[in-house]
Amino acid sequence: MDDGRVQFTITMGELIMIVNGYYRDMRQVLTDVYLEFRNDYLTVEKYAEHNGLRVNEAENLIKIASDVFYSMHPEY
């Protein structure tokens, strides 16, 4: 089923996001996602609801964000 979403593959070092007018690398964005989830939400379901995601999308995002948060920065 086509729901209009676009899928793409990109490596962590290739993506720079503009958030609130500031350039931020993907590692920082994912770290912030993980910390927001850990500090502000009790369930993945509520996080998904508040962020316009399906539960499985939120689970995947949080898993990736957690992996990034607990891994060494590649420049160290």
pLDDT in tens, 18-50: 545 555 678 888 999 999 999 999 999 999 999
State the pLDDT at residue 20: 53
Mean pLDDT of the region 3-20: 49
Question: What are the residue boundaries of the structural domains of the chain, listed by start?
Answer: 26-76
CB 41 within 8 A of CB 51: no
- Residue 63 banded pLDDT, cuts 50, 70, 90: very high
CA dist 61 and 41 (Å) reads 14
Residues belonging to the chain: 76
State the pLDDT at residue 21: 53
State the pLDDT at residue 12: 43
Please state whether the predicted TM-score (pTM) of the whole model is above 0.85.
no
